[in-house]
Amino acid sequence: MVKLKGYIVMLGWVLLSAPASASSVCATDDLGDEVCLARPAERIAALSPGATELVWAAGAGDQVVAVVAYSDYPPAAKEVTSVGSHTRMDMERLLQLQPDLVIGWVTGNPTEQLATLKELGIPVFSIEPRSFEAVSHTIERLSVLAGTEAEGFAEAERFRQGIAGLRAQFAESKPVPVFYQVWDEPLMTVNNDHLIGEMIQLCAGDNVFGHLERLVPRISTEAVVAANPEAILAGGMGEENRHWLTRWRNFPGLTAAARDNLFFIPPSLVQRPTPRMLEGTRLFCDKLEVARARRP
């Protein structure tokens, strides 16, 4: 009798677990939590513009059912239903879309709302890539959860190889003192720990404010003049707005202004941790090469 009971229990165990484990997928998110899905996600909600790009890069764009404001890349993302901004989501609309996987943003989304989603039994995978390698690793993990490993791993490798290629190409180049302007009023830059700082270093740029303590330091115009960078790179609001650079023409004593090394970099290529950073880094490196060529 006991044996029979054990047998039934075992049989039940096998019947219940076998189909699930055969197709279940797991990945560890940037909070260190392991997220497991019984089957690859089919309805993904991406709660930051960066997450949207990364899910598309992982080859799972077709599975995205919800995005947040400013999710403008790839263009197909604009067609997906928005559930508010990344700082305050419309929870009703999000739940109505019945996602089976939510991609959260560690420091961008309200932790309270992510906790509510978890309580309601929706798997939340929180990401925040802070290095080149993390971008590739994130794409790989997302593709595992979405069941699109072939595309995801290929894209992650393409990015990895691209960055490695640039790194090798500029390893021996002469350093160029650089100032990168994130914002105009107030004047803000990045230090060496920031991803943009890493991009500058990779192109053999020497970030004049790289040693500062804060990730995104606020600085004065005087500090820039005193540091006298050889090139100034600026983002700006929108993709074609170059007026942030014109202020530096008032300082002819600045090497960057004297040699006209004032370069515009489209912010969307460098300010989101996505594969488009490869294009942005290439642009950085090209501009610094121009600056090197203008040396007397």
Partner 1 sequence: MIRPITLPLSLLALASVLAMVISVGVGSVAITPMEILSVFLGDGADLQRTLVLELRLPRTLSAFATGGLLAVAGALMQVLLRNPLADPYVLGLSGGAAVGALLAMLAGLGGVIVSGSAFAGAMLATLMVFGLAHGTGSWTPSRLLLTGVVVAAGWGAVITLMLAISPARELPGMLYWLMGDVSYARSPWPGLGLLLIVCFIVAPLGRSLNVLARGPMQAAALGISVRPLEWLIYILASLLTATAVTMAGSIGFVGLVIPHMLRMVLGNDQRLILPACALAGGTLLVLADSLARIVIAPEQLPVGVITALLGVPTFLYLLYRSR
Q: Which residues bind partner 1 (CB under 8 A)?
A: 69, 82-93, 95-96, 98, 107-108, 110-113, 115-116, 119-120, 182, 188, 214-216, 218
Nearest to partner 1 of 24, 96 (CB atom) = 96
Identify residue 271 by its one-letter amino acid code.
Answer: Q
Nearest to partner 1 of 88, 242 (CB atom) = 88
Nearest to partner 1 of 104, 152 (CB atom) = 104
CB of 85 vs partner 1, minimal distance in Å? 6
Nearest to partner 1 of 23, 111 (CB atom) = 111
Nearest to partner 1 of 113, 261 (CB atom) = 113
DSSP assigned state of 59: T
CB of 247 vs partner 1, minimal distance in Å? 21
CA gap 180, 195 in Å, rounded: 12
What stretches of the chain show up as alpha helix (H) in DSSP?
2-23, 49-57, 91-96, 111-119, 132-146, 149-170, 195-202, 221-227, 243-246, 255-258, 267-270, 277-293
CB of 169 vs partner 1, minimal distance in Å? 31
CB of 171 vs partner 1, minimal distance in Å? 30
Nearest to partner 1 of 40, 273 (CB atom) = 273
Helices (H) and strands (E) in the chain, counts: 12, 12
Nearest to partner 1 of 194, 287 (CB atom) = 194
CB of 194 vs partner 1, minimal distance in Å? 10
Q: Report the sign of the C-alpha dihedral through residues 35, 40, 42, 47, in that order.
A: positive
Lookup result for tokens 């989501």: 89
CA gap 229, 178 in Å, rounded: 5
CB of 268 vs partner 1, minimal distance in Å? 17
CA gap 157, 173 in Å, rounded: 25
User: Nearest-5° angle of CA 281, CA 52, CA 31?
Assistant: 90
Q: What are phi and psi for residue 117, nearest 5 degrees?
A: -60, -45
Residue 175: how many other CB atoms lie within 10 Å: 13
Identify residue 290 by its one-letter amino acid code.
Answer: V
CB of 137 vs partner 1, minimal distance in Å? 20
